[in-house]
A and B are shown apart, each in its own frame.
Chain A
Amino acid sequence: MTGIVVFALFYILAYLVGIWADILMMKHGGASVIFRIAFGGCAVILTGMTVSFVCSLFGCSVAACLVVFGAFLVAEIITAAVIAVRKGIRIIARPGAAPQKADILWLIPVATVILSVIEVSRFAMPSVAAYVGIGEATAVFDTSRLDAGDPMMLFIGVISATAGVHPLELIFTITPSVYIVLYYVCYLALITEVTKSRLASLIAFMTVLLLCIWGYQSEYAIRYTLLVRWYGTGVFVVHGFLNVIAVLLIRYLRYMPEGEKVVEDVWDDDTEEWDMKGHKIINTRNLAIAFVVLLLAFIASVFVLNSKINRLYDATVNLQEDLNKRSSVYEKRSDEGSIEGFVVRATDGSEYTISIDEMTESK
């Protein structure tokens, strides 16, 4: 329930603060709903981080920080609303184009995003780098006071102290639906700004989604890996803030100050022409290409098999050496199957026999 409330509250605030996006882009083509939410969401988080960090320099309490944060948000929304009304900008954006049949393909990335959000709550990374800094949020939660530290962790500490939810629970159960969705919205805003068609946007967005899923680069890069450390400052900057800045830059670079759009089409240059008329698919050239491809595949498979055999051999040799380094005990049985004694093989290869008569059985 807390998660749903936090999610709804955050995106309502993001939408309202996003009026600033319409104001900033008024003379540059206006802001889409997607960019408005992306801009507003990043602005809310940035405001929270800044207020928390400044308050931490003065050792403020959580309550004081919350009051300042709330005041800033209210001021942002009211100021934006007043400016928007004066300039004739709609506060509630007009709905976009009607959905088309092909838009059903967007269910795939939507499902992927939802699954990603669910899975990050279920999977944990056993790496110190994924948890570094959370202690600062916990300190805020425990003491209800802010000390200088990472702005994002301080902000999370303030929210967790306000909501009465432990920072670890807040981070791994509630923030995924807020932060991860926001970052993907930022990517969508950038992609729709650059691509021509909805299908091209879909392909670009799916590529981004897959790159985030296969996003683990190294231990050192965890702080920038979206699906590992979505609650970190590094991820916010790389996956959220920079995307928003990129969209603003693109618009400013494209549009003249008077509002006249310079560019009509994104891809305007001549494309290559490949005239297949009169050419058959099965011809000498294509057969030669196919032969070369098969040859390369064969060489590669030989290489792969060879390396696999070598690895198995090395493992077997090491296994034998390992066995030879240990002492071993073997049973010595008669033909009838009864135990006559034990043979102990020492590490130097010598063997010793212990007769069963010399031993006492214990049960």
Chain B
Amino acid sequence: MIVELVRELYTSLRQFVGQGALLTLFAVSVAVIVIAKSSKDKGVVAAILSITGTIGIAASAAYERIVSLKAKRSVKVIVAVFTAALMLLVITSSGGNVFSEEISERAADDMHLPAGLREAMDATLQDCDRPTVLTMPGWGVYLKAYSSKFEPVYDESVYGMSDLGEDAWIVYTELGKVHPDMKKVALHARAMDCRYVILSDGIWPEFPITSFGYEKIFEGSRCSVYREVSTP
């Protein structure tokens, strides 16, 4: 019960504080350093050029203050432990753990590409030197990072995707669904001269894209590659 309460309190605190509290922490740390610095040592103020460094220096300033207190050792220890626990809580609440499941995931390979995408890209490049590719939302940047030969329909290097044309926006939205309309996808892919389509196995269309003028040329562990059927 107590563990559950503590966990819930911590979660609520995290939700209340929100991520992005680092700058607030920085502002408080600047105040600590400015108040605690020696009146002769103006140089230390230059340390505030470093956001994270400033917070670390403020933590050490707190330690040095505790050490300089003229009190019983037991009191100093209690104050130090309390301050350390508070600092730990503040730090873990200021942002998200970059190695936690909610923020990152285990890399599938050395290149940190989605599982199965690398072999799908290799299969595509074997078939064509400079393939125009329609792929899952968010995968365009992987294609460009893997090979400059790819010409993805949408490249997420433009954050917000405001430069997308109508056809690209339609397929981008459609492929973001669990049950995309592949007829619409195939129609707009052909309008954009997309000869290749790389799809993840995470979508379940009612009818596969092979029903609408594309043939499967590669099936990997998590991805498949489709090529437009050329009419002789």
- Interface residues of A, Cβ cutoff 8 Å to B: 119-126, 128-129, 131-135, 138-139, 141-143, 166-169, 172-173, 187, 190-191, 193-197, 199-201, 203-208, 210-218, 221, 225, 227-228, 238-239, 242-243, 245-246, 249-254, 262-263, 265-269, 271-276, 300-301, 303-305, 307-308
* Set of chain B residues within 8 Å of A305, measured between Cβ atoms: 5, 8
Complex: chain A residue closest to B112, CB-CB: A124
A193 to B70, CA, bound (A): 26
> Once the chains bind, are B19 and A239 in contact (CB under 8 Å)?
no
> Once the chains bind, are A239 and B98 in contact (CB under 8 Å)?
no
> Once the chains bind, are A124 and B91 in contact (CB under 8 Å)?
no
Of A135, A203, A250, A308, which one neighbours B63 at CB under 8 angstroms? Answer: A203
Of A131, A249, A301, which one neighbours B5 at CB under 8 angstroms? Answer: A301
Given contacts A216-B98, A242-B49, contact A168 B107 (CB under 8 A): no
The 9 closest A-B pairs by CB, nearest first: A135-B144, A253-B43, A216-B96, A249-B46, A204-B56, A168-B111, A254-B43, A204-B60, A124-B112
> Once the chains bind, are B49 and A172 in contact (CB under 8 Å)?
no
* Set of chain B residues within 8 Å of A245, measured between Cβ atoms: 49
Complex: chain A residue closest to B137, CB-CB: A128
* Set of chain A residues within 8 Å of B113, measured between Cβ atoms: 168
* Set of chain B residues within 8 Å of A133, measured between Cβ atoms: 157
> Once the chains bind, are A138 and B47 in contact (CB under 8 Å)?
no
Complex: chain B residue closest to A205, CB-CB: B56
- Determine if B53 is an interface residue (Cβ-Cβ < 8 Å): yes
> Once the chains bind, are B37 and A266 in contact (CB under 8 Å)?
yes
Q: How far is the CB of B131 from chain A (nearest CB, A)?
A: 14
Complex: chain B residue closest to A262, CB-CB: B40
Of B8, B55, B108, B149, which one neighbours A211 at CB under 8 angstroms? Answer: B55
Chain B interface extent, by class: 35 or more
> Once the chains bind, are B42 and A253 in contact (CB under 8 Å)?
yes
Of A132, A142, A196, A253, which one neighbours B159 at CB under 8 angstroms? Answer: A132
Q: Taking A131-B142, A271-B68, A305-B5 as given, write out 16 further A-B residue pairs in contact, using a Cβ cutoff of 8 Å, ordered by the A residue number.
A: A126-B105, A126-B114, A135-B141, A168-B146, A203-B60, A208-B56, A210-B91, A216-B95, A242-B50, A245-B49, A250-B47, A254-B43, A269-B38, A271-B70, A276-B72, A304-B12
Q: How far is the CB of A302 from chain B (nearest CB, A)?
A: 10
> Once the chains bind, are B107 and A213 in contact (CB under 8 Å)?
no
* Set of chain B residues within 8 Å of A142, measured between Cβ atoms: 147-149
- Determine if B75 is an interface residue (Cβ-Cβ < 8 Å): yes
> Once the chains bind, are A204 and B36 in contact (CB under 8 Å)?
no
Q: With contacts defined as CB atoms under 8 Å apart, how many contacts are there between chain A and chain B in the complex?
A: 248
Complex: chain A residue closest to B114, CB-CB: A126
> Once the chains bind, are A123 and B60 in contact (CB under 8 Å)?
no
23 contacts between A and B (CB under 8 A): A122-B107, A124-B105, A126-B114, A131-B142, A135-B155, A169-B110, A187-B53, A187-B56, A195-B60, A201-B60, A207-B59, A207-B87, A208-B56, A211-B91, A214-B97, A215-B98, A216-B96, A227-B98, A239-B52, A243-B49, A253-B42, A269-B36, A301-B9
> Once the chains bind, are A271 and B41 in contact (CB under 8 Å)?
no
A227 to B157, CA, bound (A): 20
> Once the chains bind, are A276 and B71 in contact (CB under 8 Å)?
yes
* Set of chain A residues within 8 Å of B91, measured between Cβ atoms: 207, 210-211, 214
> Once the chains bind, are B8 and A191 in contact (CB under 8 Å)?
no
A254 to B38, CA, bound (A): 12
Complex: chain A residue closest to B62, CB-CB: A203
> Once the chains bind, are A211 and B56 in contact (CB under 8 Å)?
yes
Q: How far is the CB of B4 from chain A (nearest CB, A)?
A: 9
Of A119, A122, A201, A214, which one neighbours B95 at CB under 8 angstroms? Answer: A214
